[in-house]
Amino acid sequence: MTERFDAVIVGLGSSGGIMAEQLSAAGMRVLGLEKGRDHTQADFEIKHDELRYYQRGAIVAGVSVDPVTWRPDPGSTARVLPWSAGVLGTDEPLYGLPSIGTGGGTLHWGAAAYRFREADFRMRSAILERFGEQALPDGTTLQDWPLSYQDLEPYYDRAEWEQGVSGAAGNVGGELRDGGNPFESPRSRDYPMPPVTPGPGDGPFVAATRRLGLHPFRQPLGINSREYRGRPACVNCGFCHGYPCHVRAKSTTQVTSVPAAKATGNFELRDMSRVLRVLRSADGRRATGVEYVDAHDVLHTVEADLVVLAAYSLENVRLLLVSGINEHGQVGKNFMTHNFGWFASVLPDATNPFMGTFNASSAIDDYTSEIVPDNDLGVLWGAPIISVTGDLQPIEAYHLMNPRVRKWGLEFKHWLRDNYTHLHRMYSQSTNFPSSRHYLDLDPAVKDRWGQPAIRITHEWEDHDANAVTLFGRYKARIAQEMGARETWMDPARPPYHLSTHDVGVHRMGEDPTSSVTDRFGSVHGCAGLYALGGGGFVSYGGYNPNLTIQALTYWSADHILDTAGTRPKDLAAV
C-alpha cells in the first residue's frame, strides 16, 4: 500500500524535530520516520544508571544493528568501530554514534550551545590572509561557506530563544558586555536565560585564567537555569552528558519541537521505522518518496513531493549512497571530526565533580579561530579551552584516571579514594581540516540485518591535527599549574577514536555541484525535492560544538522551503 504526504522527514533529532515543527505549523501534512523509539518522559524518570547509559548505551545505536567500520587509509581493512566494541569497550555516545529516538543526539548532548564566529564561515580566506596559501596542509579541500555569520545570526537568535539557551552575552550589537565572551561575534540580543549554577571546580579555573590575563566567560548551554516555556530549571543531578534529562531541563527536540509538531494536528510520527532508500522519478532528477520497514519488518512506500534527510550525518550519507544519489561523487567526501585533547588535573581543593552538569563551567576564547597565537607547530586555527566541572560518575572517573596509576589493587583504590573528589578536566576541540584523504563510503563486506552495506570511515589524524592538540596542551598545562594542580595528564595527540558525535562535512553545501552535495539551504544538487540537513552540510570546522549551528541552519532551511512554496505564515517569519 502506498501512502501520500506533503513531506517526509527522516530522523526526528536535532534538525528533524525543528523541521517537523516548522512545516506542520505552516499547514503541510508531514510524516516523520524515526528508527528509534518515540520516547516519553516516563522513559527517563529513573535514569541515574551509569551501567545502563554510559557503559551499555541504552539510547545509542549499537554496532550490531547499525554497524560502522573504520580504516586509517585505503590500503587497510576496515574494522567495526574498534573503539566502542568488545568486552572493554564503552557505548558512551561521545566516541560513537549519537542517541536514537525522538530527540536524537540532543538526548545525550552535554548541551554546549556555541555560535560559530564570523571567521569560521570564511576559514580558508582568513588563513590565506594571515599565513598564505603555502601554509595549508597538503591535500586539504578547505573552502569558505556559501553563507556568512550575518546571514545566520537571526537564526542563531531564533534557535536560542525557541529551543532555550542559558548564557551571558558578550557582544550585543557591537557593544561589549561584562561577564560574556569578549571574542564572540555580534548578536542582536542577550540569551533568554542567565547561566546555570557553576560547579565547585569552576572557581579555580576562573581565578587562574584571570591571573594569566585571560578572559573567562560562562558557557552558553541548552539547559534551563530557570523555568522556561513550561520546563523546569536544572536540578544539578550530575547525570547529564550521555544521559536523557529526567526533569526536561535540557533542551532537546524531544521536549521542544516534536511535541509542538504533534500539537498542530498535521504531523504523524512513526517510530521504529527504518528508511531503506529514497525513491526518485524515472529520470532520477526528483525525489518522489521513501521506502521503509516498520518494527515488524513490513515494507512500506510513502510518496511525497518533499523528502528531508535529517538523520545523523553518517546515516544521511549512507541513505544517499544506497539510493544511488551521488551524481558528482561528492557524497561522503570531506569528513571532519573533533579531537578533544582531554587534559585532567587533581586540584588541592575539592571539586565534587559528581555534582551538576557537564558544562556548568567557564571557558576562554583568547586562542580561538583566526586569533590563534603565532606558534612553532604550524597551527593555523584555534579553539576555546573549556573547563569541565561536573557530571563525572565513578565508572567514567575510572576511565579518566591518571594512566600512570595501576587500575587494580590498593594503589587503584587509594588513588580513587583520595582524588576522585578533586578532579578537574579541560578540553578543546581542535580543527580537523577537510581532506581528500578523509571520507565515507559503503563497506563492501559488512552489511546490516536488512542486507544493506555499512558506512565505512577512512580517516587518520593528520600532523596539523596532532600539533593543534599539542599546542593547546601547553596552554592547558599553564592553566593547571596556575590552579595549583598536584597531578596532570593528557590524552595522546592522536587518540584512538575517529568518531566524536561531532562528525560533519560529508554532504557539504556549496554553489558548485561538482564540489558539493547541496546548495546553501540543504537542497541536494540534481534531485529536486530532496534536502539533506545537519552537520553534514558544514564546509569547514572550527573549535565549537556543532549543535546550535545545525539548529540555526534548520530554521534557515525551513524558511527557504516555506518561502519557495509560498506557505510561510507571517507569525513564523520572526521570533
The DSSP string of 464-524 is HHHHHHHHHHHHHHHHHHHTT-SEEEE--SS-S----S--B-TT-B-S-TTT-SB-TTSBB
Cβ atoms 71, 437 nearer than 8 A: no
Q: Which uninterrupted H or E stretch holds 375?
A: none
Domain containing residue 257: CATH number: 3.50.50.60
CB within 8 Å of 33: residues ≥ 6 apart: 8, 9, 10, 11, 270, 273, 275, 290, 292, 302
- pLDDT tens-digit map of 402-435: 999 999 999 999 999 999 999 999 999 988 899 9
Q: Which amino acid, 267? A: F
- pLDDT tens-digit map of 92-138: 556 778 889 999 999 999 999 999 999 999 999 999 999 999 999 99
Q: Which uninterrupted H or E stretch holds 344?
A: strand 343-346
pLDDT of residue 83: 57
Question: Residue 569 — pLDDT band, cuts 50, 70, 90?
Answer: low
Average pLDDT of the segment spanning 437-451 = 96
Q: Is residue 473 part of a domain?
A: no
- pLDDT tens-digit map of 292-349: 999 999 999 999 999 999 999 999 999 999 999 999 999 999 999 999 999 999 999 9
Q: Is residue 345 part of a domain?
A: no
283-287 contact pairs (CB < 8 A, 24+): 284/324, 284/526, 284/527, 285/526, 285/527, 285/528, 286/527, 286/528, 286/529, 286/530, 287/524, 287/527, 287/528, 287/529, 287/530
pLDDT of residue 82: 62
Neighbours of 565 (CB within 10 A): 15
Q: Is residue 295 part of a domain?
A: yes
Q: Is residue 403 part of a domain?
A: no
User: Residue 222: is its pLDDT beyond 70?
Assistant: yes
Q: Which three cell numbers stand for residue 74?
A: 585505503
pLDDT of residue 496: 86
Q: Is residue 488 part of a domain?
A: no
User: Residue 571: is its pLDDT beyond 60?
Assistant: no
Average pLDDT of the segment spanning 269-274 = 97
Domain span at 28: 2-191+220-338+433-459+498-572
Question: Residue 462 — pLDDT band, cuts 50, 70, 90?
Answer: very high
Question: How far, in Å, CA of 543 to CA of 59, rounded?
Answer: 26
Cβ atoms 131, 158 nearer than 8 A: no
pLDDT of residue 574: 44
User: Cell 575510572 appears where?
Assistant: 398
Decide which of 169 and 358 is more confident.
169
Q: Is residue 397 part of a domain?
A: no
Question: How far, in Å, CA of 71 to CA of 453, rounded?
Answer: 16
Q: What is the mean pLDDT of the chain?
A: 94
Q: Quote the number of domains for the chain.
A: 1
Q: Is residue 254 part of a domain?
A: yes
User: Residue 443: is its pLDDT beyond 70?
Assistant: yes
Cβ atoms 549, 536 nearer than 8 A: no
User: Residue 88: is its pLDDT beyond 80?
Assistant: no
Q: Is residue 26 part of a domain?
A: yes
pLDDT of residue 572: 45
Question: How far, in Å, CA of 393 to CA of 389, rounded?
Answer: 12
